[in-house]
Amino acid sequence: MEIKDIIKELRESTGMNRKEFCEYFGIPYRTVTEWERGTRKMPDYVFRLLAYRIKMENFAGKEEVDGE
């Protein structure tokens, strides 16, 4: 699996679409789009930080986050 697919899978695991994800984490929309297309490389430390934050905030899907 390529890193672009892993990044997209990470975003989808939050239950957010790209726009919501960008707004929530404060990342420009175009940056995330380019990461997911593979035209730009996400720094490894950014991936680790996002993955950690998603895990710590217990994203189990958009429905559960909205229900809180």
Q: 3-67 — its CATH code? A: 1.10.260
What is the reported pTM? 0.80
Residue 44: per-residue pLDDT: 95
Q: For 10-53, write each residue's pLDDT tens digit.
A: 999 999 999 999 999 999 999 999 999 999 999 999 999 999 99
Question: Nearest to residue 56, comparing CAs of 67, 48, 66?
Answer: 48
* pLDDT at residue 59 is higher than 90: no
Token pair 């892993």: residue: 6
For residue 68, what is the DSSP state? -
Question: Nearest to residue 27, comparing CAs of 38, 18, 40?
Answer: 18
